[in-house]
Amino acid sequence: MTELLQNHLGGRWVAGSGAGTALFDPVLGHELVRVDAAGLDLRAGFAFAREQGGAALRAMSYRERAALLAAVVKVLQAHRDDYYAIATANSGTVKNDSTVDIDGGIYTLSAYAKLGDGLGDRHYLLDGEPARLAKEPVFQSQHVWVPTRGLALFINAFNFPSWGLWEKAAPALLSGVPVVIKPATATAWLTQRMVRDVIDAGVLPAGALSVVCGSSAGLMDALGPLDVVSFTGSAETAALIRSHPAVTQRSVRVNIEADSVNSALLLPGEAPGSEAFDLLVKEVAREMTQKSGQKCTAIRRVFVPEALYAAAGEAVSARLAKTTVGNPRNEGVRMGALVSRAQLGAVREGVAYLQAQAETLHDGAAHPLVDADAAVACCVGPTLLGTRNAAGSDASDRVHDTEVFGPVATLVPYRDAAHALALVARGQGSLVASLYGSDAKALARTAIELAPLHGRVHVISPEVAAHHTGHGNVMPQSLHGGPGRAGGGEELGGLRALNFYHRRTAIQAGTATLAHLA
C-alpha cells in the first residue's frame, strides 16, 4: 500500500478516513501516493484558521508578515531538489518546465516579501485622500483597506501545483488572511509536500496555512460571509462555485480564472524571415511545448496575414519537429507528459474536434516517444493546425470557441488589421494576447484595442527580443486574469493583489480623528 498523504487542518496533521485516490507517474504508470479528505471536520478546521491563524496574522504588521514570506522562501529553497523529483514523478515535466512551476512560485513569494517590507509597520492601508463632506473641512471621509476577518480558500488547477499555490498564498498571507489550499487531486503531492515542509519548519502561526487533499466535497459549505475563494480551472466548475449558496446567499467573494483561448498576433507589414516574424515563430513553438501546453496562458490561436500563412506554418512546424517527446528523466527529452490518461484522452478528442474545421500542419502523433511506452505514457507530440485562408478563419468557429489543454495551436490567417482584431475578439475574453511587429506606433495602438479583451497584452518587438519575459510567463508585477470566458478575475499585479483580501471601508470623522489614521 502506497503512502496516504495527510491533510493539515485545525492546526494538526490528519488523515482522511477513506482508502484514498491514487496519484500516478504519467510516464511510467506507477502508483506514487494516495490522497483522501473523507471524514475531515471542515467547519472546525476553518474556524480554527479564522480564529487562530487570522488573529495571529493580523496582530503583525505588513513588514512582519513580509518577513514570514521571506522565511517560507528559505524553507522552500532548502528542499528544491525534493520538489523537482516529485514534479518529474507526478507531473511528468522536464527540468526546465519544473523550474517554471517550482522556482516561479518561490520567486513570486520573494517578490511579495519585498513589496510587503515596503509597506512598513502599518496594520491597514489608506485608500486615497480624505474627501470633504461638509462646507467646512472639519468632517471628512477617509477610505481604508483592512484585512478581511475570514479565510482564503484556494481551489487550484493541476498544471501548477507550486506556482498556483504561492501566487495566491503570498498576497493573502501578506494581507493577514489565513489560507486553506485544495490542490487538484492529480498533482496534489507537490503542493502537500511544500505545505508540510513549511508547517514542520514552524515559520508560520498555527492555522495560517492549511491543506486539504482529495475530494472538495463540503469545502464551499464551510465558508462564511467574510471568507474569500479563488478558483483556477474549468468554466463548468467555476459555474458551480458561482451558484453555490456560499456565494449567492452568504456573499462570499469569488475570484475565477477559467478557460482561455489566448492569441498571438503578427501585425501587417512583416515579411518571412524578418525579426518580428522569427520572434513569433519562436514564441509559438515555445508556448506549445512548455509544460506540454498545459498552461492557462499558452498560445492557442496564431493570427498572421493571409499572405504569410504558408511561411508561418512551415517555420513553426520546423521548430516543432525538433522537439523530442517522452520520459523527462532522459536528458535528450525536451517535452514530457500530460498529467494523466484522462488528460491525454481529452487532448486527443480536442484535436479531432478541431480537425473537423482545420487542416493539420504538423502532426503530433508522428513524434516517436523517447524512453516511454506509448501504451502507458501520457505523452503526445505538439500539433499545429491551420484554417487555410481568411474565409476559413471566419467559418471555423471551433477554433475560437475551444481550448485544447495540451500542445495544440491553430494558425489563423486574416485579411487586414480590422479582420484580425475581429477574429481575436471571438475568443470572448482571454488571459493574454501577444503582439509581434516592428512599428512601435502600430503596436501601441493595437495593444490598446486588445486591452478590453485581455488581462495582459504582451508586446514583442525587436528592441525587447532578448529581454521580454515570455507570452505565457506570469510575472507577479503584472496582472493575471482576464474578462469574459477567462473568468473575469484578477490576481497579482503587484500590491493590487492585496485588494482581494481586504475590505474597503469609509471612515467618516473629524479631521483630528482622521489625522490619527494617517
Q: pLDDT digit string (tens) for 313-363?
A: 999 999 999 999 999 999 999 999 999 999 999 999 999 999 999 999 999
Is 257 marked active-site? yes
Query: Which DSSP symbol is given to 495?
Result: G
pLDDT digits (tens, 9 = 90+) for 119-152: 999 999 999 999 999 888 899 999 999 999 999 9
Condensed to tens digits (0 to 9), the pLDDT of residues 198-237 reads: 999 999 999 999 999 988 889 999 999 999 999 999 999 9
In sequence order, what are the residues at sequence separation of 6 or more whose Cβ sits closer than 8 angstroms to the Cβ of residue 317?
A: 361, 362, 384
Q: Please give the pLDDT value at position 1.
A: 65
User: Mean pLDDT across the stretch 261-288?
Assistant: 97
Q: How far is it, in rounded angstroms, from Cα 298 to Cα 267? A: 19
Q: What is the mean pLDDT of residues 14-38?
A: 95
167, 257, 490, 491: the active-site residue? 257
Give 199: exposed, middle or buried? Use CB within 10 Å, 0-12, 13-18, 19+: buried
pLDDT tens figures, 166-188: 999 999 999 999 999 999 999 99
Mean residue pLDDT of the chain comes to: 97
* Average pLDDT for 397-421: 97
Helices and strands (DSSP H and E) totals, the chain: 17, 24
| Percent residues over pLDDT 70 in the chain | 100
Specify the pLDDT at position 502.
Answer: 98
Q: What is the mean pLDDT of residues 6-18?
A: 95
User: What integer pLDDT is reported at residue 78 of this predicted model?
Assistant: 98
The residue from 167, 213, 287, 296 that is catalytic is: 296
- What pLDDT, in 10s, does the model give residues 433-444? 999 999 999 999
Q: What is residue 438's three-state secondary structure? A: coil
Residue 112: burial class (beta carbons within 10 Å; 0-12, 13-18, 19+): buried
Question: What pLDDT sits at residue 251?
Answer: 96
Q: Sorting pLDDT into bands at 50, 70 and 90, what band is 2?
A: confident
In the chain, what are the domains? 4-258+492-517 (3.40.605.10), 262-476 (3.40.309.10)
Cell of 43: 467547519
Model-wide pTM > 0.75: yes
Report the pLDDT averaged over residues 411-428.
98
pLDDT confidence of 80, banded at 50, 70, 90?
A: very high
Mean pLDDT value across residues 499-507: 98
pLDDT recorded at residue 457: 98
